[in-house]
Protein backbone atom coordinates (compact mmCIF):
# COMPACT_ATOMS: atom_id res chain seq x y z
CA UNK A 1 0.00 0.00 0.00
CA UNK A 2 1.12 3.56 -0.74
CA UNK A 3 2.78 5.32 2.18
CA UNK A 4 2.24 8.96 3.06
CA UNK A 5 5.04 11.36 4.02
CA UNK A 6 4.51 14.85 5.42
CA UNK A 7 7.57 16.88 4.43
CA UNK A 8 8.03 20.39 5.83
CA UNK A 9 10.22 22.95 4.08
CA UNK A 10 9.11 21.50 0.74
CA UNK A 11 9.46 24.77 -1.17
CA UNK A 12 13.28 24.67 -1.35
CA UNK A 13 16.46 22.74 -0.62
CA UNK A 14 16.33 19.38 1.18
CA UNK A 15 12.54 19.35 1.39
CA UNK A 16 12.03 20.06 -2.28
CA UNK A 17 14.45 17.29 -3.33
CA UNK A 18 12.77 14.91 -0.87
CA UNK A 19 9.31 15.50 -2.34
CA UNK A 20 10.68 14.38 -5.71
CA UNK A 21 12.56 11.39 -4.28
CA UNK A 22 9.62 10.00 -2.31
CA UNK A 23 7.00 10.55 -5.03
CA UNK A 24 9.22 9.05 -7.72
CA UNK A 25 9.50 5.99 -5.51
CA UNK A 26 5.75 5.50 -5.11
CA UNK A 27 4.96 7.47 -1.95
CA UNK A 28 2.24 10.06 -1.56
CA UNK A 29 3.51 13.36 -0.17
CA UNK A 30 2.02 16.21 1.82
CA UNK A 31 4.28 19.15 0.98
CA UNK A 32 4.38 22.02 3.49
CA UNK A 33 5.86 25.51 3.45
CA UNK A 34 4.83 29.16 3.44
CA UNK A 35 5.44 30.02 -0.23
CA UNK A 36 2.19 28.80 -1.72
CA UNK A 37 3.17 29.66 -5.30
CA UNK A 38 6.01 27.13 -5.08
CA UNK A 39 3.71 24.52 -3.52
CA UNK A 40 1.25 25.05 -6.38
CA UNK A 41 4.03 24.31 -8.88
CA UNK A 42 4.69 21.01 -7.08
CA UNK A 43 0.98 20.19 -7.24
CA UNK A 44 1.00 20.78 -10.99
CA UNK A 45 4.03 18.55 -11.33
CA UNK A 46 2.85 15.63 -9.20
CA UNK A 47 -0.97 15.76 -9.36
CA UNK A 48 -2.82 13.21 -7.19
CA UNK A 49 0.39 12.00 -5.52
CA UNK A 50 0.76 15.34 -3.76
CA UNK A 51 -1.32 17.46 -1.43
CA UNK A 52 0.03 20.74 -0.16
CA UNK A 53 -0.43 22.69 3.04
CA UNK A 54 0.65 26.32 3.22
CA UNK A 55 1.33 27.40 6.80
CA UNK A 56 3.86 29.18 8.95
CA UNK A 57 5.33 26.59 11.29
CA UNK A 58 5.88 29.28 13.95
CA UNK A 59 2.09 29.48 14.44
CA UNK A 60 0.62 26.41 16.18
CA UNK A 61 -2.93 27.50 15.29
CA UNK A 62 -2.01 27.45 11.59
CA UNK A 63 -0.46 24.00 12.07
CA UNK A 64 -3.61 22.62 13.69
CA UNK A 65 -5.91 24.07 11.04
CA UNK A 66 -3.72 22.74 8.24
CA UNK A 67 -3.47 19.19 9.61
CA UNK A 68 -7.19 19.09 10.43
CA UNK A 69 -7.94 20.07 6.82
CA UNK A 70 -6.23 17.02 5.29
CA UNK A 71 -8.48 15.05 2.92
CA UNK A 72 -9.18 11.42 3.89
CA UNK A 73 -6.70 10.04 1.37
CA UNK A 74 -3.84 12.00 2.99
CA UNK A 75 -4.83 11.72 6.66
CA UNK A 76 -2.93 8.55 7.60
CA UNK A 77 0.57 9.99 7.77
CA UNK A 78 3.27 7.29 7.95
CA UNK A 79 6.30 9.55 8.00
CA UNK A 80 6.89 13.05 9.32
CA UNK A 81 10.03 14.75 8.02
CA UNK A 82 10.62 17.78 10.23
CA UNK A 83 12.86 19.68 7.85
CA UNK A 84 11.64 23.31 7.82
CA UNK A 85 14.19 25.51 9.52
CA UNK A 86 16.65 28.31 9.14
CA UNK A 87 19.73 30.09 10.38
CA UNK A 88 19.69 33.88 10.58
CA UNK A 89 22.92 35.84 10.85
CA UNK A 90 26.55 34.93 11.42
CA UNK A 91 27.44 37.60 14.00
CA UNK A 92 28.95 36.81 17.38
CA UNK A 93 26.35 36.61 20.16
CA UNK A 94 27.33 40.00 21.53
CA UNK A 95 26.43 41.64 18.20
CA UNK A 96 23.41 39.52 17.31
CA UNK A 97 19.85 40.60 16.72
CA UNK A 98 17.48 39.24 19.40
CA UNK A 99 14.61 39.14 16.92
CA UNK A 100 16.62 36.81 14.68
CA UNK A 101 17.36 34.58 17.66
CA UNK A 102 13.65 34.42 18.49
CA UNK A 103 12.74 33.55 14.90
CA UNK A 104 15.21 30.64 14.93
CA UNK A 105 13.79 29.35 18.22
CA UNK A 106 10.19 29.79 17.03
CA UNK A 107 10.89 27.94 13.77
CA UNK A 108 13.53 25.30 14.55
CA UNK A 109 12.31 24.45 18.06
CA UNK A 110 8.73 25.56 18.70
CA UNK A 111 7.55 24.86 15.14
CA UNK A 112 9.09 21.39 15.04
CA UNK A 113 7.71 20.65 18.50
CA UNK A 114 4.14 21.82 17.73
CA UNK A 115 3.87 19.88 14.48
CA UNK A 116 5.29 16.74 16.06
CA UNK A 117 2.82 17.03 18.94
CA UNK A 118 -0.07 17.35 16.48
CA UNK A 119 0.94 14.42 14.26
CA UNK A 120 2.20 11.94 16.88
CA UNK A 121 -1.20 10.26 17.54
CA UNK A 122 -1.49 9.46 13.82
CA UNK A 123 2.11 8.23 13.64
CA UNK A 124 1.42 5.90 16.55
CA UNK A 125 -1.73 4.55 14.85
CA UNK A 126 0.26 3.99 11.66
CA UNK A 127 3.35 2.59 13.44
CA UNK A 128 5.13 5.26 11.42
CA UNK A 129 8.34 7.26 11.66
CA UNK A 130 9.74 10.71 12.38
CA UNK A 131 12.90 12.07 10.79
CA UNK A 132 14.13 15.32 12.32
CA UNK A 133 16.67 17.49 10.53
CA UNK A 134 19.32 18.81 12.88
CA UNK A 135 22.82 19.88 11.80
CA UNK A 136 26.50 19.34 12.51
CA UNK A 137 26.11 22.74 14.21
CA UNK A 138 24.39 20.85 17.06
CA UNK A 139 27.61 19.08 18.02
CA UNK A 140 30.40 21.34 16.80
CA UNK A 141 30.30 25.01 17.80
CA UNK A 142 31.65 27.61 15.39
CA UNK A 143 31.86 31.41 15.59
CA UNK A 144 28.47 32.91 14.81
CA UNK A 145 26.65 29.59 15.25
CA UNK A 146 25.36 30.52 18.75
CA UNK A 147 21.54 30.21 18.75
CA UNK A 148 21.33 28.29 15.47
CA UNK A 149 23.58 25.56 16.93
CA UNK A 150 21.55 25.66 20.14
CA UNK A 151 18.29 25.07 18.29
CA UNK A 152 19.79 22.13 16.42
CA UNK A 153 21.15 20.65 19.67
CA UNK A 154 17.55 20.74 20.92
CA UNK A 155 16.52 18.75 17.84
CA UNK A 156 19.08 16.04 18.62
CA UNK A 157 18.05 15.69 22.25
CA UNK A 158 14.33 15.90 21.47
CA UNK A 159 14.78 13.11 18.90
CA UNK A 160 16.50 10.87 21.44
CA UNK A 161 13.79 11.68 24.00
CA UNK A 162 11.08 10.79 21.50
CA UNK A 163 12.77 7.44 20.88
CA UNK A 164 12.59 6.79 24.58
CA UNK A 165 8.95 7.87 25.00
CA UNK A 166 7.78 5.99 21.91
CA UNK A 167 9.30 2.74 23.14
CA UNK A 168 6.95 -0.13 22.33
CA UNK A 169 4.80 1.83 19.85
CA UNK A 170 6.77 0.71 16.80
CA UNK A 171 7.32 4.34 15.80
CA UNK A 172 10.85 4.99 14.55
CA UNK A 173 12.73 8.21 15.21
CA UNK A 174 15.86 9.40 13.43
CA UNK A 175 17.87 12.58 13.72
CA UNK A 176 19.77 13.55 10.54
CA UNK A 177 22.65 15.98 11.09
CA UNK A 178 24.09 17.33 7.85
CA UNK A 179 27.03 19.62 7.27
CA UNK A 180 27.51 22.09 4.42
CA UNK A 181 24.93 21.66 1.68
CA UNK A 182 24.15 24.08 -1.13
CA UNK A 183 20.50 25.13 -0.91
CA UNK A 184 18.84 28.48 -0.19
CA UNK A 185 20.12 28.15 3.41
CA UNK A 186 22.94 30.70 3.12
CA UNK A 187 20.82 33.06 1.05
CA UNK A 188 18.29 33.10 3.91
CA UNK A 189 21.01 33.37 6.55
CA UNK A 190 22.56 36.42 4.85
CA UNK A 191 19.24 38.14 3.98
CA UNK A 192 19.49 37.35 0.27
CA UNK A 193 23.20 37.95 -0.33
CA UNK A 194 23.75 35.76 -3.41
CA UNK A 195 27.49 36.53 -3.67
CA UNK A 196 28.07 35.54 -0.01
CA UNK A 197 26.23 32.29 -0.69
CA UNK A 198 28.15 31.59 -3.92
CA UNK A 199 31.46 32.39 -2.19
CA UNK A 200 30.78 29.95 0.65
CA UNK A 201 30.09 27.04 -1.65
CA UNK A 202 32.61 27.89 -4.39
CA UNK A 203 35.12 25.09 -4.93
CA UNK A 204 33.92 23.26 -1.79
CA UNK A 205 31.88 20.60 -3.57
CA UNK A 206 29.15 20.81 -0.91
CA UNK A 207 26.38 18.25 -0.49
CA UNK A 208 23.14 18.88 -2.37
CA UNK A 209 19.45 18.58 -1.64
CA UNK A 210 19.44 15.36 -3.65
CA UNK A 211 22.23 13.89 -1.47
CA UNK A 212 20.18 14.55 1.66
CA UNK A 213 16.95 13.29 0.06
CA UNK A 214 18.73 10.04 -0.78
CA UNK A 215 19.76 9.68 2.88
CA UNK A 216 16.24 10.40 4.13
CA UNK A 217 14.78 7.87 1.72
CA UNK A 218 17.30 5.25 2.83
CA UNK A 219 16.42 5.84 6.50
CA UNK A 220 12.68 5.68 5.76
CA UNK A 221 12.79 2.46 3.79
CA UNK A 222 14.90 0.25 6.04
CA UNK A 223 13.13 -2.82 7.46
CA UNK A 224 10.62 -1.72 10.15
CA UNK A 225 12.52 -3.47 12.97
CA UNK A 226 15.59 -1.23 12.39
CA UNK A 227 15.97 2.27 13.84
CA UNK A 228 18.78 4.56 12.75
CA UNK A 229 19.13 6.86 15.78
CA UNK A 230 21.44 9.50 14.33
CA UNK A 231 23.10 10.16 10.98
CA UNK A 232 25.88 12.75 10.83
CA UNK A 233 27.12 13.55 7.34
CA UNK A 234 29.44 16.10 5.77
CA UNK A 235 30.96 16.80 2.38
CA UNK A 236 34.46 15.32 2.14
CA UNK A 237 35.87 18.85 1.83
CA UNK A 238 34.50 19.95 5.24
CA UNK A 239 36.13 18.82 8.48
CA UNK A 240 37.35 20.10 11.85
CA UNK A 241 39.82 22.83 12.88
CA UNK A 242 41.96 23.24 16.00
CA UNK A 243 40.59 25.14 19.02
CA UNK A 244 41.21 28.89 18.92
CA UNK A 245 43.56 30.16 21.63
CA UNK A 246 43.54 33.78 22.78
CA UNK A 247 46.97 34.80 24.16
CA UNK A 248 47.58 37.80 26.39
P1 LIG B 1 16.32 26.16 2.48
O2 LIG B 1 16.40 27.58 2.91
O3 LIG B 1 16.67 25.83 1.08
O4 LIG B 1 14.87 25.57 2.83
C5 LIG B 1 14.27 25.83 4.05
C6 LIG B 1 12.81 25.44 4.02
O7 LIG B 1 12.23 25.71 5.31
C8 LIG B 1 12.01 26.22 3.00
O9 LIG B 1 11.19 25.34 2.28
C10 LIG B 1 11.15 27.16 3.83
O11 LIG B 1 9.89 27.34 3.22
C12 LIG B 1 10.99 26.35 5.14
N13 LIG B 1 10.68 27.24 6.25
C14 LIG B 1 11.50 28.17 6.83
N15 LIG B 1 10.84 28.86 7.76
C16 LIG B 1 9.56 28.38 7.77
C17 LIG B 1 8.38 28.71 8.49
N18 LIG B 1 8.37 29.69 9.41
N19 LIG B 1 7.25 28.01 8.26
C20 LIG B 1 7.24 27.03 7.33
N21 LIG B 1 8.32 26.67 6.60
C22 LIG B 1 9.46 27.35 6.82
O23 LIG B 1 17.28 25.38 3.48
P24 LIG B 1 17.71 23.82 3.59
O25 LIG B 1 16.95 22.97 2.67
O26 LIG B 1 19.19 23.79 3.54
O27 LIG B 1 17.31 23.55 5.09
C28 LIG B 1 16.42 22.54 5.50
C29 LIG B 1 16.77 22.14 6.91
O30 LIG B 1 18.08 21.62 6.95
C31 LIG B 1 16.78 23.32 7.92
O32 LIG B 1 16.22 22.85 9.13
C33 LIG B 1 18.27 23.63 8.08
O34 LIG B 1 18.54 24.19 9.34
C35 LIG B 1 18.86 22.24 7.96
N36 LIG B 1 20.26 22.16 7.58
C37 LIG B 1 20.74 22.76 6.45
C38 LIG B 1 22.08 22.61 6.10
C39 LIG B 1 22.68 23.28 4.92
O40 LIG B 1 23.93 23.42 4.90
N41 LIG B 1 21.91 23.68 3.92
C42 LIG B 1 22.97 21.76 6.90
C43 LIG B 1 22.35 21.21 8.08
C44 LIG B 1 21.06 21.38 8.38
P45 LIG B 1 9.10 28.73 3.10
O46 LIG B 1 10.13 29.84 3.11
O47 LIG B 1 8.34 28.61 1.81
O48 LIG B 1 8.21 28.74 4.28
C1 LIG C 1 24.01 24.15 8.53
C2 LIG C 1 25.37 23.58 8.53
O3 LIG C 1 27.78 24.06 9.00
O4 LIG C 1 26.45 25.86 8.04
O5 LIG C 1 23.26 23.56 9.53
O6 LIG C 1 26.10 25.25 10.35
S7 LIG C 1 26.46 24.75 9.00
Q: What is the CATH number of the domain that holds 102?
A: 3.40.50.720
The bound ligand whose nearest atom lies closest to the alpha carbon of 13 is 1
Q: What is the chain's pLDDT, residue by residue, as a tens digit (248 residues)?
A: 799 999 999 999 999 999 999 999 999 999 999 999 999 999 999 999 999 999 999 999 999 999 999 999 999 999 999 999 999 999 999 999 999 999 999 999 999 999 999 999 999 999 999 999 999 999 999 999 999 999 999 999 999 999 999 999 999 999 999 999 999 999 999 999 999 999 999 999 999 999 999 999 999 999 999 999 999 999 999 999 999 999 99
Residues marked active site are found at 148
Please tell me the predicted confidence (pLDDT) of residue 1: 75
CA distances, 203 to each of 198, 209, 224 (Å): 10, 17, 39
Residue 132 contacts residue 158 (beta carbons within 8 Å)? yes
Please tell me the predicted confidence (pLDDT) of residue 18: 99
DSSP state of 202: T
From the number of C-beta atoms within 10 Å of its C-beta (0-12, 13-18, 19+), residue 162 rates as buried
Please tell me the predicted confidence (pLDDT) of residue 116: 99
Q: Which residues line ligand 1 (CB under 6 A)?
A: 8-15, 33-35, 56-58, 83-86, 107, 133, 135, 178, 180-181, 183-185, 188
Please tell me the predicted confidence (pLDDT) of residue 9: 98
Q: Is 76 within the bounds of a domain?
A: yes
What is the extent of the structural domain holding 108? 4-233
Element (H, E) at 153: helix 146-165
Distance CA 74, CA 9 (A): 18
Q: Is 171 within the bounds of a domain?
A: yes
From ligand 1's centre to the CA of 168, what distance in Å? 31
Distance CA 248, CA 246 (A): 7
Q: What are phi and psi of 100, to 5 degrees?
A: -65, -40
Residue 76 contacts residue 4 (beta carbons within 8 Å)? yes
> How many domains are contained in the chain?
1
**Cβ(147) to ligand 2 under 6 A?**
no
Amino acid sequence: MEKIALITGATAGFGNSSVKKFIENGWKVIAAGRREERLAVLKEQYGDALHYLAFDIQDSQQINTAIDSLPTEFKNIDLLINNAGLALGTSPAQQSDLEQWNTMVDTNIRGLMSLTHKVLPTLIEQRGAVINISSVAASYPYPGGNVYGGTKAFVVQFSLGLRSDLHGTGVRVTCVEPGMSETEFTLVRTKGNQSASDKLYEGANPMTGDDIAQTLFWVATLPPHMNINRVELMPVNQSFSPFQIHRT
